[in-house]
């Protein structure tokens, strides 16, 4: 039952995260990457702090502070900032395919930080799926950007670390508590950055940019993590982490429907191959 609950929570988290890159792509049309990253953290931190206060949660132990800082570095600062920067060079549809690297990155950090031990076949299929993603990035046409691709790879590595560390802490502290405390720890720095990078003219910010900021602040930065960390904690980091391979499908559909971005057949083919590889990897997680 715990495993089934974990997979259900994880799937809901993936669905919520699927809108993150398209929403970020829209938001960077009106806000700078630095302001977007800091503002979404400040808004989510305020909501998380309110939850912690209303539900009277005990403060984390001193030994939890460094792991919480690692979570903040990975998913509060690193992934949002690097993807926002990447999306000034590449399309949301192109960036979404890099999510194919997340299960492997999460599994590697799960082994390192949480002591999980998947079977050798797991690494074979996960590695093949990741190689497919890298091959797609290297063979993409004129819309590709080396700088954008490297930023996405760095974002994925930091995100995998933040996922694994947060899942490990969630087994003791709870999923929503982990992300709320990580946001609270990062609040002073992120608030200072937000104030220093305020838009020069608010009236020029479009309504879609505001909606993008709202989505990544409330759903991508807080609500999604409540379900995602719970799923990883209950179902296992390496196993449930494979659900992230559904995210490119959801994200590509959103990018096509909402942003009217072209989705090349090579993107669909690469994503399908990666999902197939990780479906096999899941059996051996």
DSSP summary character for residue 205: S
The confidence score (pLDDT) of residue 130 equals 76
Nearest Cα to Cα of residue 204 among 34, 30, 38, 23: 30
The confidence score (pLDDT) of residue 142 equals 47
Q: Can you tell me the distance from the alpha carbon of 100 to that of 247, in angstroms, rounded to the nearest whole number?
A: 8
Cβ contact 160:78 at 8 Å: no
Span between the terminal Cα atoms of the chain, in Å: 18
Q: Can you tell me the distance from the alpha carbon of 225 to that of 219, in angstroms, rounded to the nearest whole number?
A: 8
Cβ contact 211:29 at 8 Å: no
User: How far from chain centre, in Å, is Cα 250?
Assistant: 14
Which residues contact residue 213 at a Cβ distance below 8 angstroms, ignoring those fewer than 6 apart?
A: 27, 31, 36, 39, 40, 43
Q: Can you tell me the distance from the alpha carbon of 3 to that of 6, in angstroms, rounded to the nearest whole number?
A: 5
* Phi and psi at residue 215, to the nearest 5°: -65, -50
The confidence score (pLDDT) of residue 137 equals 65
The confidence score (pLDDT) of residue 46 equals 96
The confidence score (pLDDT) of residue 4 equals 73
Nearest Cα to Cα of residue 80 among 26, 41, 30: 41
Chunked in runs of 10, what are the mean pLDDT values of the chain (285 residues)?
78 88 87 92 95 91 92 92 87 75 83 74 80 71 73 92 89 88 94 93 91 94 90 82 77 73 75 77 65
């Amino acid at each position: 039952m715990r495993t089934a609950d974990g997979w259900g929570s994880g799937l809901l988290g993936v669905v919520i995260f699927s809108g993150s890159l398209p929403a970020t792509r829209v938001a960077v049309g009106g806000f700078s990457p630095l302001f977007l990253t800091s503002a979404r953290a400040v808004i989510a931190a305020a909501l998380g702090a309110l939850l912690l206060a209303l539900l009277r949660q005990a403060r984390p132990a001193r030994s939890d502070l460094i792991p919480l800082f690692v979570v903040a570095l990975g998913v509060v600062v690193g992934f949002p900032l690097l993807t926002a920067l990447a999306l000034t060079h590449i399309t949301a549809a192109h960036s979404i395919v890099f999510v194919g690297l997340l299960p492997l990155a999460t599994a590697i950090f799960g082994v390192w930080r949480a002591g999980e031990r998947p079977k050798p076949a797991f690494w074979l299929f996960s590695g093949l799926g990741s190689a497919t993603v890298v091959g797609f990035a290297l063979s993409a046409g004129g819309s590709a950007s080396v700088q954008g691709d490297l930023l996405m790879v760095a974002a994925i590595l930091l995100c995998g670390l933040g996922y694994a560390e947060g899942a490990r802490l969630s087994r003791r502290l709870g999923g929503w508590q982990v992300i709320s405390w990580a946001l609270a720890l990062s609040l002073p720095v992120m608030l200072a950055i937000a104030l220093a990078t305020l838009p020069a003219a608010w009236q020029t910010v479009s309504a879609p940019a505001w909606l993008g900021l709202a989505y990544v602040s409330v759903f991508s930065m807080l609500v999604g993590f409540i379900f995602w960390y719970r799923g990883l904690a209950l179902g296992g980091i390496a196993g449930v982490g494979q659900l992230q391979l559904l995210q490119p499908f959801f994200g590509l559909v959103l990018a096509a429907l909402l942003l009217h971005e072209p989705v090349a057949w090579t993107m669909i083919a690469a994503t399908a191959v990666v999902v197939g590889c990780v479906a096999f990897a899941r059996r051996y997680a």
